[in-house]
Amino acid sequence: MNRKISGPFTKEKLADLKAGDAVLLSGIVYTARDAAHRRMTEEANAGQPFPFDLTDAAIYYVGPSPAAPGQVIGSAGPTSSYRMDPYTPQILDGGVSVLIGKGPRGPEVIDAIKRNGAVYFAAVGGAGALISQCIKSSEVIAYEEYGTEAVRKLEIEDMPVIVAIDSAGNSVYER
């Protein structure tokens, strides 16, 4: 049975989720991949603000394909999350509470998830066309020059995900 969770994604809403739980997510989600993560952390280290408020925010590791005529977005399947691991602890410490991608995470990320009461959700790889149907709006908000890897603000409705790592650090990849 799927649980439904809507943003903002507060630590209180996430606290009772357990690794393996099926969830339908709704609300605002930001997209960011490798290049955007690198740039956001470099800019933050230089004293510049992030391109969006990290407080209780969700980041989806996706580089969607271009939208066909009449569509909000193209295929929007998750990318491998480990590539964001060098930047993720800083972003979690900045207030992000939800990460969405695919694949296992490193020990530093798991420690940051526990430290911050965050949750890492796995979206189904290969299901980008299905996931794109859950995206109701898409707007580039930063790094437009990165093309598909630009930071976007998405409004999602009932996006199917699985709790891959819960706020206590329990992982479906460790079972």
CATH of the domain at 52: 3.20.130.10
Number of domains in the chain: 1
**pLDDT tens for the 175 residues of the chain, in order:** 689 999 999 999 999 999 999 999 999 999 999 999 999 999 999 999 999 999 999 999 998 988 888 899 988 989 999 999 999 999 999 999 999 999 999 999 999 999 999 999 999 877 788 888 999 999 999 999 999 899 999 999 999 999 999 999 999 998 6
Whether 170 is in a domain gets the answer no
Task: Print the domain residue range for 152.
Answer: 3-165
Q: What is the CB-side half-sphere exposure of residue 74 using CA atoms within 13 A?
A: 10
Whether 82 is in a domain gets the answer yes
What was the pLDDT predicted at 2? 81
Q: What are the tokens at 138? A: 């898409």
Whether 174 is in a domain gets the answer no
What was the pLDDT predicted at 129? 82
Whether 173 is in a domain gets the answer no
pTM for this entry: 0.95
What was the pLDDT predicted at 130? 81
What was the pLDDT predicted at 116? 97
Q: What is the CB-side half-sphere exposure of residue 33 using CA atoms within 13 A?
A: 15
Active site residue 37: yes
What was the pLDDT predicted at 1? 62
Q: Which residues pair with 152 in a beta bridge?
A: 140
Whether 171 is in a domain gets the answer no
What was the pLDDT predicted at 35? 95
Whether 110 is in a domain gets the answer yes
The one catalytic residue among 14, 29, 30, 37: 37
Report the sign of the C-alpha dihedral through residues 67, 71, 72, 77, in that order: negative
Q: CB neighbours (10 Å) of residue 48? A: 11
